């Protein structure tokens, strides 16, 4: 083979100048350019296939950190300091441990661990609404009606519910040794102003036996906050800002069913009353067919010292608790790590609305003060603390950590609401990954100069789900049957694993 040494400058075709010189020499051996290009393509496919094969099943367990309401890409990991002032905002970037990746100045702890992560800066889709179900299930589309109706027949099962279901199928009906699909810190959308539960973290057509097992938060907030939006207000102690040292979690005696109001869920009853009410609610629900299995599980869990011990974060040292931050989100992340150590496969940790609908990361108004004082500090310690703690315990390499949301926020700042705001934006946003099969110190994709549109390597939420299934050892093209027995794909057709994310 003729080989002329030269710089490996890559042409727009993806071939290097050296490749073309090699191709010219191939004619001496009876191989034409077409055959050479085909061989290069096969070689690339084989390399990608080898990478996929090596990463398949590397994660034995998973923690999903879901930031409800959606953080701004411009104030987290895709800052644009050169953008116009009406886009870049008032916060400054700082260097991280990953060269070339700056993060927001209010994320100093995360800045130190970005070399352990893969950041996807080019997530994109067409639904700028709070579609938790769209972000984390196989449903192919979402609208506001479906978002606010967990019973909508179009819904597909939550990622954790699918993982639990497929694990159960592998066991051939034998029960797991420990709870496998848990969600913290409290029932989704149950602690805000009294409105219907939002869709998303439910088992849909898999049946109520595969809903996540929810916890209750036991503790108090330490900082009082006043929140207001049109027609609603809340003043009280916000545990996401800080929580008392006696804070911990326990399995919720009355597991939520879609349709129960926040007021109904918050009533304090005796354990017996809660089970009786739960039974009646279940009998009226669309999941009534799973009642006996639910009852059996609920009774066994409430009395299980192993589960209670795993959720009791008070057993951790003061140093470890502080590593995660003494906030509701930080302590819930710590509880998730303890559950994994005890044998849980998948834990979902929500940063949820508290006291007021339109709260959490939904920063339509007072965007910058809320990001600085209410949101970024808690995320900074919780995410970095989880990654560092898993690493020092030798758990990070086989634990997938995902920090994700339903969309991003508008590049252009709206100065009309109090304190200014950023609104819903799904055309370009970011997600973070660490551990379990993910590459370390990696950035996938890019946005334009305003973080407005994807400039390189668009990735859909369904591609992210496919990649998450893959590293957990699940073929994302697996089919599961819906209520009518029709096979449904785990992710919509056309979705694919993102090899650039993988180690």
Interval 295-353: pLDDT, tens: 556 556 656 889 999 999 999 999 999 999 999 999 999 999 999 999 999 999 999 99
Q: Pick the residue with more confidence: 333 or 19? A: 333
Lowest mean per-residue pLDDT among 172-176, 211-215, 280-284, 432-436 = 280-284
Q: How high is the pLDDT of residue 418?
A: 86
Residue 164, class by beta-carbon neighbours within 10 Å (0-12 exposed, 13-18 middle, 19+ buried)?
buried
> Is residue 39 scored above 80 in pLDDT?
no
Compute the average pLDDT of residues 199-207. Answer: 95
> Is residue 38 scored above 70 in pLDDT?
no
Cα–Cα dist 211/264, whole Å: 19
User: What's the maximum distance between 2 C-alpha atoms anywhere in the chain?
Assistant: 86
- Highest mean pLDDT among 12-21, 41-50, 235-244 belongs to 235-244
Reported as a single tens digit per residue, the pLDDT across 89-144 is 999 999 999 999 999 999 999 999 999 999 999 999 999 999 999 999 999 999 99
> Is residue 290 scored above 50 in pLDDT?
no
Q: Pick the residue with more confidence: 270 or 224? A: 224
Q: Which CATH architecture has domain 56-217+243-501?
A: 3-Layer(aba) Sandwich (3.40)
| Mean of pLDDT over the chain | 85
Q: What percent of the chain stands above pLDDT 70? A: 79
Q: How high is the pLDDT of residue 325?
A: 98
What stretch of H or E contains 117? strand 117-123
What are the extents of the domains in the chain? 1-55, 56-217+243-501
CA-nearest of 441, 503, 501, 429 to 465 is 501
Cα–Cα dist 503/496, whole Å: 16
C-alpha neighbours within 13 Å on the C-beta side of residue 29: 11
> Is residue 428 scored above 60 in pLDDT?
yes
> Is residue 471 scored above 50 in pLDDT?
yes
Reported as a single tens digit per residue, the pLDDT across 261-286 is 333 333 333 444 444 454 444 434 43
Burial 284-308 (b: 16+ CB within 10 A, else e): ebbbbebbeebeebbeebbeeeebe
pTM of the model as a whole? 0.84
Cα–Cα dist 159/161, whole Å: 5
Q: How high is the pLDDT of residue 62?
A: 98
User: Do the Cβ atoms of 378 and 330 come closer than 8 Å?
Assistant: yes
Residue 268, class by beta-carbon neighbours within 10 Å (0-12 exposed, 13-18 middle, 19+ buried)?
exposed
């Amino acid at each position: 083979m003729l080989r002329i040494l030269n710089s490996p400058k890559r042409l727009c075709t993806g071939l290097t100048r050296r490749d073309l010189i090699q191709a010219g020499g191939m004619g001496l051996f009876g191989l034409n350019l077409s055959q050479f290009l085909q061989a290069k393509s096969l070689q690339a496919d084989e390399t990608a296939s080898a990478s996929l094969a090596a990463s398949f099943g590397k994660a034995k367990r998973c923690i999903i950190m879901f930031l409800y309401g959606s953080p701004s890409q411009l104030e987290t990991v895709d800052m644009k300091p050169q953008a116009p002032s009406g886009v870049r905002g008032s916060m400054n970037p700082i260097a991280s441990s990953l060269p070339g990746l700056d993060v927001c100045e209010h994320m100093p702890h995360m800045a130190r661990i970005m070399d352990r992560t893969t950041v996807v800066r080019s997530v994109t889709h067409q639904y700028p609404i709070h579609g938790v179900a769209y972000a984390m299930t196989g449903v192919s589309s979402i609208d506001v009606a479906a978002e606010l109706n967990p019973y909508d027949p179009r819904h597909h099962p939550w990622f954790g519910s699918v993982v639990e279901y497929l694990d159960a199928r592998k066991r051939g009906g034998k029960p797991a040794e420990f709870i496998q699909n848990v969600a913290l810190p409290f029932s989704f959308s149950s602690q805000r102003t009294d409105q219907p539960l939002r869709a998303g973290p439910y088992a849909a057509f898999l049946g109520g036996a595969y809903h996540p097992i929810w916890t209750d938060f036991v503790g108090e907030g330490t900082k009082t906050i006043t929140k207001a939006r049109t027609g609603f207000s809340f003043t009280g102690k916000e545990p996401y800002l800080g929580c008392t040292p006696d804070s911990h979690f326990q399995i919720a005696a009355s597991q939520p069913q879609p349709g129960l109001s926040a007021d109904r869920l918050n009533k304090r009853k005796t354990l017996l009353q809660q089970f009786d009410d739960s039974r009646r609610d279940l009998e009226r629900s669309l999941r009534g067919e799973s009642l006996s299995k639910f009852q059996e599980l609920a009774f066994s869990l409430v009395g299980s010292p192993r589960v209670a011990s795993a959720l009791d974060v008070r057993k951790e040292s003061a140093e470890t608790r502080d590593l995660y931050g003494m906030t509701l989100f930080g302590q819930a992340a710590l509880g998730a790590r303890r559950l994994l150590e005890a044998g849980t496969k998948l834990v979902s940790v929500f940063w949820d609305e508290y006291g007021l609908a339109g709260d959490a990361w939904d920063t339509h108004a007072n965007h910058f003060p809320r990001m600085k004082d209410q949101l970024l500090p808690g995320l900074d310690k919780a995410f970095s603390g989880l990654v560092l703690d898993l690493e020092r315990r030798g758990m990070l390499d086989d634990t997938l950590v995902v920090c994700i949301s339903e969309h991003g926020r508008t590049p252009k700042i709206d100065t009309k609401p109090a304190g200014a705001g950023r609104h819903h934006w799904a055309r370009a946003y970011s997600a973070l990954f660490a551990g379990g099969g993910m590459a370390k110190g990696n950035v996938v994709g890019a946005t334009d100069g305003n973080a407005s549109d994807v400039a390189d390597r668009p990735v859909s939420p369904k591609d992210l789900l496919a990649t998450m299934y893959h590293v957990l050892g699940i073929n994302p093209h697996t089919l599961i049957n819906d209520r009518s027995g029709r096979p449904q794909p785990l992710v919509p057709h056309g979705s694919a694993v993102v090899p650039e994310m993988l180690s």
